[in-house]
Amino acid sequence: MRLMDLSAYRAFWRTLGVPSLLIGSLLARLPTVAMMIPLSFLVKDLTGGFGWAGVVAGSYSVGTGIGAPLWARLADRRGPRRVLAVTGFAWSVALAVLALTPGGLVRVMPAISLVAGALVPPVSSTMRARWPRMMIGIRLRTAYAVDATAVEVLFAIGPMLGAVMVTFASPRAGLLAAAGFAAVTTWWFSQLQPKSRAAGEHEHPLTVRQLLWHRHRLAIIVSFGLCVMAFAATSLAIAAFADDHGNRIIAGWLEMVWALGSLTGGLVAGALPGRRVSYVWRRTATICVGLVVCAPATWSSWTLGVALFTSGTVLAPTVGAMYERLGALTPASVRTEVFGWMNSSAMLGAAAGSALSGVIVESFGVPYVFVAAALLTLVAAGVLLGVPPHRPEEHADEEHVVPPVIEAGAEPVAITPA
């Protein structure tokens, strides 16, 4: 039996439309990751401290949590092309307004930031809802694994680009660059979407209650929020560890090692043949084990780096499995919206995780943050116990499937077994 099947990647990339869609989505998502460092330093420069910067960043997160499911729902009902184009332009304008806000009006920046967060284009939700319309089985699992892995790449590159702009230009220039780049890339990504909705997909849209009050979908959304809460806590623990050792650049290296571990795990997961029953709760439980290992490894940066790389190898595969299960358990007519709610859960989890870890660091120390993060992922695994697993028979005959043909601007036809 083959442990890895690299042909899954070849089949994935040969599916018409995949390269442009994936690249377009990554470029459109890059400014949302890169803009936080310029924004934080801009507010710090205007106020003299990072306290108000935290308020502005928190307002942005709240706005994103509110806007994500609303725009995603509208994309399901009206089609994603116009929604992406409008929100991409509006978000760019809001970023430009933040960048050009004079020092005398710094107190209104949280309100502007709230609006900017609410206008973030639903690029991630649109992309994750699009995969099941383009492929099934092994290719679909590979698509979600690649998507989760690509996010890790964005979080490794985006903050670095933002820091470069702040260092060699200015925070204002960094925000303005992100605004201009977002306007162009989001418009391009919107043009890759179908002009109209798929026939029959939107005749009976679910209400918000019907969509969320479902034991499997709700379990995945809640567990994802708990996992992101653990990830945010881990990031702050890494920063606190570096600060305790008197060399803050260690935080950047450790974050990169953690991301490289996730990138490695995601690439391996995307090449697995998927011929065994796969429970998402088991993958989530492995994150718990990895974070537990990090707690006693904090006696040196080298041991912590090894532990973080090891624990990181299961992050992208687990997140990809959550995407796949949520998409499979959601009707196509509301699939973009459900991923929007998943994004909201992530934003809430990130805010709560940062706050919780700050208290734990001050009260008990860095190792206990890893313990708390491990407990959060253990709870997440417990929430997922009832979620149906991915089964091999879901794509038993996929080797006989012909790839779909995607016409420019048209909805792709999902491949089905012959």
pLDDT of residue 407: 37
How far apart, in whole angstroms, are the C-alpha atoms of residue 414 and residue 356?
43
In total, how many domains does the chain have? 2
Q: At CA 121, angle to CA 115 and CA 126, rounded to 5?
A: 150
Supply the pLDDT for residue 396.
Answer: 44
Region 171-196 average pLDDT: 91
User: Based on the domain organization, do 68 and 93 belong to the same domain?
Assistant: yes
Q: How large is the average pLDDT for residues 94-119?
A: 92
Segment 224-246 shows an average pLDDT of 85
Asked whether residue 237 falls in the same domain as residue 330, the answer is yes
Same domain, 119 and 22: yes
Q: Are residues 172 and 209 in the same domain?
A: no
Whether 190 and 214 map to the same domain: the answer is no
* Nearest in space to 371 (alpha carbons), one of 380, 360, 386, 387: 360
Q: What is the pLDDT of residues 83-92, one digit of tens each?
A: 999 999 999 9
Mean pLDDT confidence for 279-308:
90
Q: Which one, of 189, 228, 179, 184, lies nearest residue 32 by Cα?
A: 179
Structural domain that includes position 97: 12-133+168-201
Q: Specify which of 39-53, 79-93, 246-260, 378-392 reaches the highest per-range mean pLDDT.
A: 79-93
Q: pLDDT digits over 12-46, tens only?
A: 777 778 889 999 999 999 999 888 888 888 888 88
Mean pLDDT of 322-340: 88
Kindly state whether residues 275 and 368 are assigned to the same domain: yes
Helix axes of 80-99 and 171-191: crossing angle, nearest 10 degrees: 170
d(CA 145, CA 271): 9
Is the residue at 254 inside a domain? yes
Q: Do the domain assignments include residue 98? A: yes
In a domain, 403, yes or no: no
Evaluate whether residue 273 is within a structural domain.
yes
Mark whether 194 and 246 lie in a shared domain. Answer: no
Give me the pLDDT at residue 418, please: 26
Domain boundary among 201, 222, 243: 201
CA 381 to chain centre: 19
Are residues 239 and 308 both part of a single domain?
yes
User: What mean pLDDT comes out for the span 135-164?
Assistant: 80
Kindly report the CA angle at 18 between 17 and 24, in degrees rounded to 5?
Answer: 95
Of 201, 222, 246, which closes a domain? 201
Instruction: Indicate whether 146 belongs to any domain.
Output: no
- Would 408 be classed as within a structural domain? no
Domain assignment present for residue 400? The answer is no
Is residue 412 predicted with pLDDT exceeding 70? no
pLDDT digits (tens, 9 = 90+) for 307-318: 999 999 989 889
Among 259-268, 330-339, 384-393, the minimum mean pLDDT is found in 384-393
Name the residue with tokens 């090449």. 271
Res 356: pLDDT:
83
Domain end marker among 179, 201, 223: 201
Say how far apart CA 3 and CA 98 lie, in whole Å. Answer: 50
Predicted structure pTM score:
0.79
Residues 252 and 197 in one domain: no
DSSP summary character for residue 198: P
CATH number of the domain bearing residue 391: 1.20.1250.20
Q: Are residues 245 and 288 in the same domain?
A: yes
Average the pLDDT over 182-190 and give the result. Answer: 95
The whole-number pLDDT of residue 413 equals 37
Shared domain check, 211 and 344: yes
Residue 90: predicted pLDDT: 97
Distance between CA atoms of residues 5 and 67, nearest Å: 39
For residue 162, being part of any structural domain is answered with: no
Left (φ > 0), alpha (ψ -120 to 50) or beta: where does 48 sit?
left
How far separated are the first and last CA of the chain, in Å rounded? 25
Do 247 and 258 share a domain, yes or no? yes
Quote the CA–CA distance of 65 and 122 in Å, as a whole number: 11
